[in-house]
Chain A
Amino acid sequence: MTSDTATTATGTTDTTDTTDRPRSVIDKIWDQHVVAELDDDTSLLHIDRILLHDRSGGLALRAVRDEGRQLFDRDLVFGTMDHVVDTRPGRDDRTPVPGGAMFIDAFRAEARHQGVTLFDIADPRQGISHVVFPEQGIALPGTTMICADSHTPTLGGIGALAWGVGVTECEHALATQTLAIRRPATMLARFEGTPGDRVVAKDLILALIASIGAGGATGHAIEFAGSAISALGVEARMTLCNMAVEAGARTGVVAPDEKLLDYLKGRPYAPVGPAWDQAARAWLDLRSDHAAPYDRTTTLQVDGLGPQVTWGTSPQHATGIDSFVPHPDELADPAAARRALDYMDLRPGTALSSVAIDAAYLGSCTNARLSDLRIAADVLRGHRVAEGVTAICVPGSTAVRRAAEAEGLDRVFVDAGFQWRESGCGLCFYAGGDRFPAGARVISSTNRNFENRQGPGVRTHLASPATVAASALAGRLADPRER
């Protein structure tokens, strides 16, 4: 290990790379970003990327300016339009979200005024933040990144520490390129074994959240590891990290490996030439040392794990699709479970595969990358969505949409009866615009099944792209292995 201890003006020590004790990937990235140790467990961390979106980007940028401050380093700030943009074909600046135009206009104006790179609505690089920034090579391994969005941990899939913040924290990072934060506790989540056919990252993470609970990783940064994780593609790792926050974690990460290097090479903002070689070596060094300490370890055996689906209003309310709606009294919080079943209009003991659906949604930062679309298309190819089911596909980015079209996936979706839309957050969350009808039951590849998340009274069942596709065809919650 190299040693480059340096003493800073405040007398604090830069601990970068100086220790021989075994460290996890989380510790290594953290240590490399400590600008100063403050008090308690709090460090001033350098933030390598500040990622903005239409919903809060304008407010954060304007707040900096209103305070008479400047961006510390505008080259490390990037933005995209995703939350309030229309996803219907032929869209323009108009949005079904009431007041949405104000957010779009303000963000565009502030980004222009302050010199921030913005992937605007008509830009071929536009899309959902957490999809676009890895796709462009803006999100890189070993970096620290923040975005005013709780699913920023998605970027942990490329071996980075990334987390969601509020607007005021975002403003702090914009003005100082740092954040003062407490070191999170660490948790190692090992997934060992080989899951069943058509069982994908979404099923793994739903099974973990069901086992540890929606608050089970509160305050922790999770490293996902084990044979089942090494076997996952990089996009699938993003799905996994995307939902770390649904277990209460601050963030999630999968350590870099060769597969990741293959994924990143040649992306527009990724380093090239000798800089690439140097970076690639440094990234592989970020892997956790043998015997690295964690505050907690949990292991999930995934041999024979089947597709998962949620039955309630918290991501922890997940179980096998071939199973039954549980009885509240058998659960840790019976009152909450009863309330959830009431909202979901489900009875204990009902076979999940008998529950009829009104709609199927394939989209979001969780599961709308090219690999997700391919998985769903495999199930759909040559079939038609069941009578009366509204089926919608919203690709995670414009680049994903175009890539899918280049290989003819759009035809598969359209021929099956899916709407094929422009990229954005769309119906993943209800912001006053697009929504499913009240009371509608939706099988959804998104990450939150909270009450009213996809519209007032809408009942969301979370599942993988394969399960969404199989259910759309069957008109009920359906096991993709039966297709």
Chain B
Amino acid sequence: MSTVQPFHQVTGIAAPLLRANIDTDAIAPSRFRPASLSKYGYEAALFAGLRFDEDGAERPDFVLNQPPYRNAVALVVGPNFGCGSSRETAVWALRDFGIRAVIAPTFGSIFETNCLRNGLLPLSLPPAEHQRLADETFAPTASAHLTIDLDTCRVAAADGPQHTFTIDERSRRQLLSGLDTIGETLLLRETITRFRTRDRHRRPWNYPTRSTTPEGPTDG
């Protein structure tokens, strides 16, 4: 069964990437291909366009190439992070790099769901509070350490005040347990089947059998 790593408490380095609208193609460029059809093996894809030059050498000015951030377990990012393409490779690349949580004012909605399905916490804070947390974490005197506690829904920079975040209960439960969501839904198989029996009666056209026409219409 597919399971994901449960998420309870994570402490470690956070890296700042505070630009708005970082899209999934920037997070994991589309040209990157794994050797086989797999959900794993995307570590090198992470921010590849920003992290590496054309020859594959690290760009020293990119944050994840700098100590201590190359060991980051969390990213503090700008609004609408993960907008754009639905590609789940963006989340797999973050996960394979070692990122457990992404902290933003808002997320692209497909990306947010993809995080949850892979055991990453998409942690959203209201803009002002997000800014305060970023300031506390990345102040010149701060250590860039964060602690995120999903049991209590709190996040804090080392020596900083606690910020409470909200996440819907179902997502929280799934992250805490690393639950197999397909298995959970299949427990409702009979309910699904009953719905379909009723629905087929009500909307028979929604259940097509295979087309008998070999070809589509010629008018677009």
Contacts and interface: CB of A to CB of B under 8 A. Distances in A.
Contact of A149 (B2, B86, B216): B86
Interface stretch (B7-15, B55-63, B105-113, B131-139): B105-113
A441 B26 CA distance: 20
B220 interface: yes
Contact of B186 (A175, A279, A314): A175
A355 interface: no
Contacts of A63: 2, 39
Interface in A123-140: 124-125, 131-132, 135-136, 138, 140
A106 B33 CA distance: 14
Interface in A98-145: 98-99, 102-103, 106, 117, 124-125, 131-132, 135-136, 138, 140, 142-143
Interface stretch (B69-77, B144-152, B193-201): B193-201
Given A46-B192, A59-B37, A135-B220, A140 B205 contact: yes
Contacts of A76: 207-208
Contacts of A267: 216-217
A290 B36 CA distance: 53
B98 interface: no
A218 B185 contact: no
A171 B170 contact: no
Contact of A451 (B26, B88, B188, B189): B26
B37 to A, nearest CB: 5
Nearest to A46: B195
A304 interface: no
Interface in A271-289: 271, 275-276, 278-279, 282
Contact of A215 (B80, B182, B199): B80
B206 A124 contact: no
B33 A370 contact: no
Nearest to B115: A166
Main secondary structure of the interface of B (DSSP, over half): loop
B49 A452 contact: yes
Nearest to B90: A166
Contacts of B79: 215
B1 interface: yes
Nearest to A36: B191
Contact of B25 (A235, A371, A450): A450
Contacts of B182: 67, 69, 171-172, 175-176
Given A10-B188, A175-B182, A268 B213 contact: yes
B110 A165 contact: yes
B29 interface: yes
B216 A124 contact: yes
A239 interface: no
Nearest to B35: A99
Interface in A1-49: 4, 6, 8-10, 14, 16, 32, 35-36, 38-42, 44, 46, 48
Interface residues of A, number: 108
B202 A4 contact: yes
B209 A429 contact: no
B170 A432 contact: no
Contacts of A276: 205
A164 B82 CA distance: 13
A336 B20 CA distance: 7
Contact of A370 (B88, B169, B220): B220
Nearest to B213: A268
B110 A140 contact: no
B205 A279 contact: yes
A178 B219 contact: no
B52 to A, nearest CB: 12
Contacts, number: 233
A360 interface: no
Contacts of B168: 40-42, 182
Nearest to A172: B182
Contacts of B206: 48, 140, 142-143
Interface string B29-44: 1110100111100000
Given A59-B39, A62-B37, A180-B170, A10 B205 contact: no
A278 B109 contact: no
Given A75-B209, A267-B217, A399-B220, A336 B106 contact: no
A452 B188 CA distance: 44
Contact of B109 (A135, A250, A314): A250
A430 B30 contact: yes
A336 B78 CA distance: 11
**Which of B26, B91, B186 neighbours the largest number of chain A CB atoms within 10 Å of its CB?**
B186
B211 A168 contact: no
B21 interface: yes
Contact of A166 (B2, B113, B195, B216): B113
Contacts of B205: 140, 270-271, 275-276, 278-279
A73 to B, nearest CB: 8
Contacts of B1: 67
Contacts of B31: 98, 430-432
Interface stretch (A379-387, A402-410, A414-422, A467-475): A402-410
Nearest to A66: B2
Nearest to B220: A370
Given A4-B202, A268-B213, A429 B30 contact: yes
B37 A150 contact: no
Given A40-B169, A166-B91, 6 more contacts: A10-B191, A136-B211, A214-B80, A248-B108, A404-B220, A406-B218
6 contacts: A32-B203, A171-B182, A177-B196, A215-B20, A282-B203, A403-B219
